Amino acid sequence: MLKQCITARAALAELKQADASTRETLQYGTALLEGFRYLKQLVDIGVLRELEFGREKLFIHPKMMQLLTRDDNGVTPYPSVAQ
């Protein structure tokens, strides 16, 4: 009887651990999806550019790349922010 009780407790502990792992995985997946949606919105309004390399997607900030690769520091404002 004692052996069965210990086995049941061990099984219950494993289930709790598996449930926590599943919950963490779902939270991670939800966060990734939310982040991807945010990046897509930035692409839609013209802040980022999306480039695909094989299975990977890169989100590039063109104005930042311009600042890094040119000697001048002139950056034009975004159309919706321009006055």
pLDDT confidence bin for 2, thresholds 50/70/90? very low
Token pair recorded at residue 43 = 């692409």
Give the model's pLDDT for residue 38: 92
- pTM of the predicted protein model: 0.61
Give the model's pLDDT for residue 40: 92
Cβ partners under 8 Å of residue 52, min gap 6? 58
Could you read off the pLDDT of 13-56 as tens digits, one per residue?
676 666 667 777 777 778 888 888 899 999 998 899 999 989 99
pLDDT confidence bin for 59, thresholds 50/70/90? very high
If DSSP codes are grouped into helix, strand and coil, which group holds residue 35? helix
Domain ranges in the chain? 2-69
